[in-house]
Amino acid sequence: MVKRNILFVLYYFNIFYILFIISVICFAFLTQNFELFHYDVVSQIETIGALFVLIFWLYNLYIWIKSDKKLHNILFLLFLNWIYSPFYFRKALRNHWV
């Protein structure tokens, strides 16, 4: 039960991380100078967030090794790693792999 709760926290954190990266990119394009106001803070948030996203991605790879053997899923996980991880986790929940 605790492991499942941790996975849900990582799942939601991954979604917020994707939204954060998209908002940083949009802010950079809207300001037209590509330099953020507090770049050091944004850089620290990205680094810490990337660690949590990496843990979640590695667990999704473990789910693929243990339960799923479809080639297209591993290709999506490898090439679209932090973007595809939440979608794959939802698929794993639907198929009762977690």
Alpha-carbon distance of 26 to 46, in angstroms, equals: 15
DSSP letter string, 78-96: HHSHHHHHHHHHHHHHHTT
The pLDDT > 70 percentage for the chain reads 92
pLDDT average, residue stretch 78-82 = 90
Answer yes or no: is pLDDT of 29 > 90. Answer: no
- Cα distance between residue 12 and residue 20, in whole Å: 12
Has residue 28 got a pLDDT over 80?
no
pLDDT given for residue 33 in this prediction: 63
Domain count, the chain: 1
Q: What is the pLDDT of residue 95?
A: 93
For residues 51 and 37, what is the distance between their CA atoms, to the nearest angstrom?
Answer: 24
Which domain, by its residues, includes 88?
2-94
